[in-house]
Amino acid sequence: MTTYSSEIERILNQATSLIQNLDGQVLDVLAVSKPPDLEYARHLAQVISKLSPLIGNMLEYAIVSELNKQDWSAYRGTWARRDPGFPDTVFNWNQPIKPGVEVKTWFPLATEMTARFRDSQIHFVEEQTRVAIVAWLPEYLLYGKPKLVGVFTCTASSLAKARDAHYHNPPDYIILEPEDTRNRTANLQQTNVIGYKFQGTPKQLRQAQRQVARWGGRGTEYSYSPDYQKQLKQLLSQYPYRIDTNFSKIDRIRHSELETFKAKTLRMEFFGFTIEAWAKQRLRTNEGLNQLLQIKRRLR
């Protein structure tokens, strides 16, 4: 750890606290008009989630603006958005290691968190990065301005470790670190791990299992050490594997605190029903859609 690790921790603690305080706010960045009829409401229920990337982009700017309203003069720095790059929100100061927050959005009516988290554990040894997952919905579920209905924050290292512990199961499933690209220009540097699924025959699988057994009692535990990665690459070169295109979806990582946040959010009530009930059934019924179409009229 660096000599200024405690400063990094204080900066990130303050930043994540400010981000969590955004919970419940309505963002005045755009508004979806109320559907004029039931048919259009059905269509909107199917496509409204596609706004999430746009909302995420706007949310990143809003978070930077909110953070910079605070006084950071004690650390001689300010927050800035970085696009492209990871994390997307960084604290620029006079130290080489910059604290940062990666912001992910979740549209809970889609139930599954579609965002991915691929970055390697090795990039978080200084605990300089946090992850913020922000759940949002339109004020009236189908229309209105974006409303933040839940904010979850954790260390990036805990998310990466949970991901690797969940997926890595050699020889059936292996995770490989990126090549060392630190000497390349920023746009050519690689930071993402890759998941590979075994595709060999049952006989080949038994052979690979015997090979892994020779690694010792902790041979199946994930490590980014060069020696362990060399062993994994030997498996990859000797047996057929395929890249797993579903690897690293946040929804499947099984981070215990994140799972608690997800369950709590889905249990939240909107207009008499939980978000989960709206997502799984009520938004698909005429009764549910008509209820939403009438809400704003009653509020006027």
18-74 pLDDT per residue, tens: 999 999 999 988 899 999 999 999 999 999 988 888 998 899 899 999 999 999 999
Per-residue pLDDT reduced to its tens digit, 85-114: 889 999 999 999 999 999 999 999 986 888
Average pLDDT, the chain: 92
d(CA 8, CA 13): 9
Domains held by the chain: number: 2
Domain shared by 186 and 41, yes or no: no
Domain shared by 157 and 220, yes or no: no
Domain shared by 35 and 147, yes or no: yes
pLDDT at 255 (0 to 100)? 94
Domain shared by 129 and 191, yes or no: no
pLDDT at position 144 over 70: yes
Domain shared by 75 and 152, yes or no: yes
Alpha-carbon distances of 7 from 17, 98, 214, 274, rounded to whole Å: 15, 11, 44, 41
pLDDT at 87 (0 to 100)? 93
Per-residue pLDDT reduced to its tens digit, 189-247: 678 999 999 999 999 999 999 999 999 989 999 999 999 999 999 999 999 999 999 89
The whole domain housing 80 covers 5-163+248-299
Query: Terminus-to-terminus CA distance in the chain, angstroms?
Result: 56
Q: Which of 243, 261, 284 is a domain's end point? A: 243
Domain shared by 127 and 108, yes or no: yes
Domain shared by 111 and 142, yes or no: yes
Average pLDDT in the 145-158 region? 96
pLDDT at 145 (0 to 100)? 94
Domain shared by 213 and 259, yes or no: no
Alpha-carbon distances of 162 from 65, 202, 223, 238, rounded to whole Å: 31, 29, 13, 28
Residues forming beta bridges with residue 173, ordered by sequence position: 169, 197
Give the count of beta carbons closer than 10 Å to the beta carbon of residue 110. 14
Nearest CA-CA partner of 212 in 242, 247, 165, 173: 173
pLDDT at position 178 over 70: yes
Q: Which of 243, 265, 283 is a domain's end point? A: 243
pLDDT at position 298 over 70: no
pLDDT at position 180 over 70: no
Domain shared by 179 and 286, yes or no: no
Domain shared by 217 and 262, yes or no: no
Instruction: Tell me the pLDDT band of 183, cut-offs 50, 70 and 90.
Output: low
Nearest CA-CA partner of 151 in 138, 133, 139, 128: 133
Q: Which of 243, 266, 291 is a domain's end point? A: 243
d(CA 190, CA 120): 10
pLDDT at 297 (0 to 100)? 46
